[in-house]
Structure 1
Amino acid sequence: MKEQIASKVLIVDDLADNLQALDALIRHEQRLVFHAASGEQALQLLLEHEFALAILDVQMPGMDGFELAELMRGTERTRHIPIVFTSAAGRELNYAFKGYGTGAVDFLYKPLDSDAVRSKVNVFVALDQQRHEGRRQVAELEQSRREQQQLLEELHVTQAELQRSLRMRDDFMSLVAHELRTPLNTLFLESQMRSLQLARGNFDALGPEKLPAMVARDRRQIQSMIRLIDDMLDISRMRSGSLSIRRSAFELIGLLERVVSDLALQAAGYGSSLTLRAHAPVHGCWDEFRIEQVIINLLTNALRYGNGKPIEIGVDTDATGEVRIDVIDCGIGIAEADQQRMFEPFERGSANGEAKGLGLGLAISRQLAGAHGGRLSVASDGKTGSVFSLTLPLALAPV
């Protein structure tokens, strides 16, 4: 049950005995009665409180009841307050006519009829209670409307997210099938060709001088599928919060030299080259496998979108106790609007109008950088290449 708000009643009379008598007559547990001994005191109370009713004595020194009523009717805050006049003057003075002319709802002559006073006060207090209840109900309705509007907006957002998730799921399944089909098709065709050569007895086609190239081709296709599967596993671990790292002490420049050497042939295939700027050894404590994974991803992306131009890897250490590895390409660049979006899962760039990969590498790489207490960022003017920067803290102990 809602708690009832106490209604406020103002009584104004210059005689204290009259105030006390009227107070005793109309006081109630759900009613607050305020006293004013003059028109000036009444105005001060009217500015501070919202009253259900004002009972004004007509004949007061200074500002009389009629003057107070005129001021109340001329002020927005108080013009709605019902006014009841009281007077000990004779009826022949016709004060009642003047009182109604000022907007009073009633005029009572002294000595006051107790039942009549209580009845009139009860009526106006009841109206005030109804007004408060109406306001409360309107406020509750407005609050309910706002909550419903918020729920509706949240529902629309959830619905949009669900639809986006469904689209992403469908796109992802299609993407995985497409990306896996390429190496699988190559392996299948290679297998078919070898079977055909064997069936024809053409063993020279499978001779020792050709086997290394065959094995190398098979290895590349298998490694491509393994990378795809590893990326899918990593993105799953990221979302479950189980993507872990295993730190150990190692030297960073040696790792970069090894990666650059391993990717040299791939870079040549793109018509590009990889150059590691000279730098003194940098010792730190990170997960060597995961750092290599990030570097390979950054270099592979740089080759893919670098327009066949040379790629540089720079290393910088500073007084803050961090090392920064920059992968610098002179390729197609990245628009500012895409520079944060590209770190989201399944967001893919386009090389020569064709999207490549699953769009997981950068999302995983940023997560791995954060797991090391570092960060992965990109800078580009959108026209003349990009710089991807992996920043890692140096002073981390093995865990």
Structure 2
Amino acid sequence: MKQPPVFKESAQVRHPAPPDGVPASVLLVDDNPAKLTALAAVITDMGLDVATANSGREALRLLLQRDFAVILLDVKMPAMDGFETAALIHGRPKSAHTPIIFVTAEADTDSERFRGYTSGAVDYIFSPIVAEVLRAKIQVFVDLFYLQRKLTIQAEELLQSKRQLRELASYQEHIKEEERKRIARDIHDELGQSLLALRIDVSMLQARTGTLHPRLNEKASDALNHLDTAIRSVRSIINDLRPPVLDLGLQAAIEWQLEEFRQRSAIDCTMSAKDENFRCDLNEKSATTLFRIVQESLSNIARHAQATQVHIELYREGRQLYLQIKDNGVGMTDRKKLNSFGLVGMKERISMLGGEFSIDSAPDKGTRLTISLPLD
């Protein structure tokens, strides 16, 4: 019958606090109750949650219930010895990296020690056991366990912060679009209608003056020209804020935007839409986001690409909508441009909608933006 281990007392080691207030668990496995009691007594003041098992099977059962910072495992046990138990513990994905320290009263041969290490052991402890050494070894793995838990907590907090930032950015985009709609509506209903009424009055004045008042007629004609310019400017502002054509669908809005861009830049613009059935499946938020990205992309092409051709493709594959914007310009020669604020903002807006955003660019070979979004 195995005897309880002999302990040599010494100074105690430090016991850092767990990062989340939950003490680490340590598992002691031995078929000798007296030995389990002695081992537990040595580490009882370390502020740990100590669990005991009197067989390999019981140890495996406990591992299904919680994680352990370290396992102290007896080598010589009936039915299932320590080597077999260690192999089964590390054969389970969740406990594959749990540290195991073999505890034995016998000075095993080198071959047995090698078998222990190949079974997944990180260390051996032989009797007589020095209490300070045992606690120090356990503390090393407890510290690593706390560090891993701290990193996990920080990663979860970072993920939560990123999620909150995305939600805030999404809310800000929503507020901006709603404000654009409101301003466009107010300009149309107030300023637009006032300019239109004023133009009608000036037009009537011009018609009535005719040859009777040449100078007044000339002034009325100049006023009409100024009013027409102002009305065009107001319409342009309304369209930039929120083009009414967007109500007819994303394809119509992009075609309108391409025509406007072609007139301003003299760049040849084409568009192909392979499937129009996505109209009823694309929500307003996604459609507006894609339209804004087309606007911003065309603006970037005009300023930086030195392109002569732009082609936009809009199509669906299954439950995914794809948008490609291609130009034959100089491409992005500077890697910093690929991480510019504008492109990062596009990628983030698409990511908030559950989509993907990619850039394919090479010197003198143009640039292609590819966007995919899930349809409702």
Please give the TM-score of this superposition, normalised by the length of structure 1: 0.44
Please give the TM-score of this superposition, normalised by the length of structure 2: 0.47
Higher Rg of the two aligned structures:
1
